Amino acid sequence: MEFSLYHIVREPKAKKEKNPLLLLLHGYGSNEEDLFSFAVHLPDDYFIVSARAPHPLPPHGNAWYAINFDAAMNKFSDEVQAVQSRDLIGKFIDELVAGYPVDKSRITLIGFSQGAILSYAVALSYPEKVERVAALSGYLNTEIINYNHSSEKLSKLRFFISHGIVDQVIPVEWARKAPEILKGIVPGVEYHEYPVGHGVAPQNFYDLLAWLDK
């Protein structure tokens, strides 16, 4: 079967007819190997897929969308590309359900940084395709979300949000807006901060594992 995104797989150790799926979405300038290094520590019953973003960034990285800088070094996201990647991930989820023995009602996205931004956008634009989102060191960009959904569909979503309070790439103030926005839309939001920069602290990872086990 042809897939829209290159990806690597860890099959579940405890195989069922259909296993829950964890889809890992890396950050800007990284690749599918980055978050996949977590896979050995993730629960045994999950089918784990780590996807490579579609836009190459030499020498060894990829991006879900371009980030451009002006003369004053202000950053601008290419939101047209971001929406294209959002829709591409939505299509890729359908392909994973068709191509692997995964339970389409139990799909969790784990995104870091730009991957977290896309995870928010995919889940809120395609709530019928996603059960849960772990958004690590990202923020909720309302400009790339299609909110055209019933509250019933959105009511099934659950979010784990974490951020470093000294993050030098995405300010923690940006991350703090997400639970405030989501509390009016979805019932399940868990938010954590850690005394780190742009990365996943050990305690962050333990809290994520505890959330996955709920």
pLDDT at 70: 67
Mean pLDDT of the 13-22 span: 94
- For 150-185, the pLDDT digits (tens) are 778 888 999 999 999 999 999 999 999 999 999 888
In a domain, 115, yes or no: yes
Residues with Cβ within 8 Å of residue 176, at least 6 apart in sequence: 163, 191
In a domain, 1, yes or no: no
Assigned token pair, 17 = 């007819």
- For 197-212, the pLDDT digits (tens) are 999 999 999 999 999 9
In a domain, 2, yes or no: no
Domain that holds residue 56: 7-212
Global pTM value: 0.95
In a domain, 118, yes or no: yes
List helix spans (H) across 3-78.
32-36
* Nearest-10 Cα torsion for 106, 47, 90, 79: 110
What CATH number does the domain containing 37 carry? 3.40.50.1820
**Whole-angstrom distance, CA of residue 199 vs CA of residue 14:** 30
- For 37-63, the pLDDT digits (tens) are 989 999 999 999 999 999 999 888 999
In a domain, 136, yes or no: yes
In a domain, 124, yes or no: yes
What is the count of structural domains for the chain?
A: 1
Mean pLDDT of the 145-154 span: 82
For 79, phi then psi, to 5°, come to: -75, -25
